[in-house]
Structure 1
Amino acid sequence: MHTRVTGIVLSDDDKILLLHQDTDGPRHWSLPGGKVEDGGTLEEGLVREMREETGADVEAGRLLYLCDNVPARVVHITFEARIIGGALGAVTESADTRQIHAVEFVPLDDLPRLGFSDLFVKLCRDGFPGAGSYMGPKSAIGL
């Protein structure tokens, strides 16, 4: 198993920061994040991946959830993140970054038509009740 760390940035006007990018699956919008490098901390991985994929400098907030994707052999760890600087949209091309077409704050109401579940939208609106918990498979949080 390898570890993937992602960040959720929610705005005061009910929007979430997402990437529009090439993926292997049917959904072409995703949370920013990526693999934690050997010897690196979760926070370092989050800060680096958010900077590479969005151009934003962030600080890690609360641990929102821990999920696994057993078929892909990935543990997903997602944190609340707050933008503290950088230039949104200044994407850094790197070996592990899939082509990113856009970095946008997307209204939560638009998420279902972009392939996100109603459950994930509800979790965002409700402030991720049970934050910091192991949630089981990614499907348990609607991803």
Structure 2
Amino acid sequence: MKKRLSRLWRLLSLPKNLQLSIMRLTQNEFLIGVTGVILNDRNEVLMCKHIYRQIKWSLPGGYIKGKEHPKEGLVREIEEETGFIVRIGEQLRIRTDRETARLDISFVGSYIGGEFRPSHEVSEAHFFAFENLPLISQNQLLLIKEVLQRQPNIETDLPQKTIFAKLQSLFIPKH
């Protein structure tokens, strides 16, 4: 069956836009997310406190729109969620998530300017030194560490007591 369809596809010689429309109807769809490790001039990392997530703090990012380059999407998402203007540099890595049919592309970037303004997704945004990062996912911690290890004079080994204190704060209620 597939061989016949392939032959028919070649014989029809359809315009590219029509081919793509047919492919969109027959192929699985997935989301493309973008994440940025955004540094200021002191090599501190931009972190956003999200209103709706279980782990509140995370690197800035979001989903790209159709016909949008991933770098453009990341710049747009950060500006929409924080009011900050950033420059996006090199791509760090691509990660897939089979359970959610999602592809995430991570980039390194730098803070250019702007004033923070809360959005419907982000209530706070701050720059943190590595040793003062809030509790974040392991994947994001590894991304940050990878970027900062490239920077001169930055220590990226957290002492065990710091890690324990961050984990403990999750489970012990504050009075």
Do both proteins adopt the same fold according to a TM-score greater than 0.5, normalized to the shorter chain? yes
Q: As a proportion of its length, which structure holds more helix?
A: 2
- Matched AA of 1:35: Y
1:102 corresponds to: 124
2:136 corresponds to: 115
Q: Greater relative contact order: 1 or 2 (C-alpha under 8 angstroms, separation 6 or more)?
A: 1
- In structure 1, C-alpha distance between the alignment counterparts of 2:111 and 2:145, rounded to whole Å: 23
Structure 1 stretches lacking a partner, 5+ long: 129-143
- Distance apart, 1:11 and its partner CA: 3.1
1:79 aligns with 2:126: no
Identity %: 29
- In structure 2, C-alpha distance between the alignment counterparts of 1:40 and 1:119, rounded to whole Å: 27
1:138 corresponds to: none
2:98 to 70, 82, 86: 70
Q: TM-score, normalised by structure 2?
A: 0.60
1:18 aligns with 2:47: yes
Q: TM-score, normalised by structure 1?
A: 0.72
- In structure 2, C-alpha distance between the alignment counterparts of 1:33 and 1:122, rounded to whole Å: 18
Gap change, CA 1:105 and 1:83, over 3 Å in 2:
same
Structure 2 stretches lacking a partner, 5+ long: 1-29, 152-175
- In structure 2, C-alpha distance between the alignment counterparts of 1:126 and 1:81, rounded to whole Å: 15
1:131 corresponds to: none
- Matched AA of 1:124: V
- Structure of larger gyration radius: 2
- In structure 2, C-alpha distance between the alignment counterparts of 1:103 and 1:90, rounded to whole Å: 9
1:5 corresponds to: 34
Q: What CA RMSD, in Å, does the superposition of the two structures yield over aligned residues? A: 2.2
- Distance apart, 1:79 and its partner CA: 1.1
- In structure 2, C-alpha distance between the alignment counterparts of 1:126 and 1:45, rounded to whole Å: 26
